[in-house]
Amino acid sequence: QVLPVESGGGSVQAGGSLRLSCSLSGYSINEYCMGWFRQGSIGGRDGLATIGTDGNADYADLVKGRFTVSRDNARNILYLQMNNLQPEDTRLYYCGARKMTSGGRPCLIRYGMHFWGEGTQVTISS
């Protein structure tokens, strides 16, 4: 079972930054579309950013210019750099993964993920 494992959450003041990390327990991220989502205000998960095996990224409008997704295939780690954090960014953040296949769906937020981590809490104080 593919299991994303998140880390890096915490508490910062408004305007601060955090970097989240994610790895796949026992699997290489090289074959996976990877992404970051967060707990939705009315349930479910809101997509923030995805990054494919080719390095192309897809961002939600609400994080463009503030969040940056990246992947280090050599270290098998996915990152989310979050800058200028605001109290409304306080949520549980999830890492997701979906195996890329030839002819399969591209790595875009709207196509979702198949595997999910348990989440890491981000809390922003005003």
42 vs 78, higher pLDDT: 78
Query: What local confidence, expressed as pLDDT, does residue 48 receive?
Result: 98
Does 70 score more than 90 pLDDT? yes
Does 1 score more than 90 pLDDT? no
Does 26 score more than 90 pLDDT? no
Query: What local confidence, expressed as pLDDT, does residue 41 receive?
Result: 82
d(CA 59, CA 67): 8
Does 7 score more than 90 pLDDT? yes
d(CA 16, CA 65): 14
Query: What local confidence, expressed as pLDDT, does residue 124 receive?
Result: 98
Per-residue pLDDT averaged across 116-121, rounded? Answer: 97
Residue 61's alpha-carbon distances to 23, 88, 125, in angstroms, are 25, 15, 23
Confidence of residue 25 (pLDDT cuts 50, 70, 90): confident
Per-residue pLDDT averaged across 75-96, rounded? Answer: 97
Query: What local confidence, expressed as pLDDT, does residue 42 receive?
Result: 87
- Name the average pLDDT for the chain: 96
CB count within 10 Å of CB 71 equals 20
List 79's β-bridge partners, or say none: 21, 70
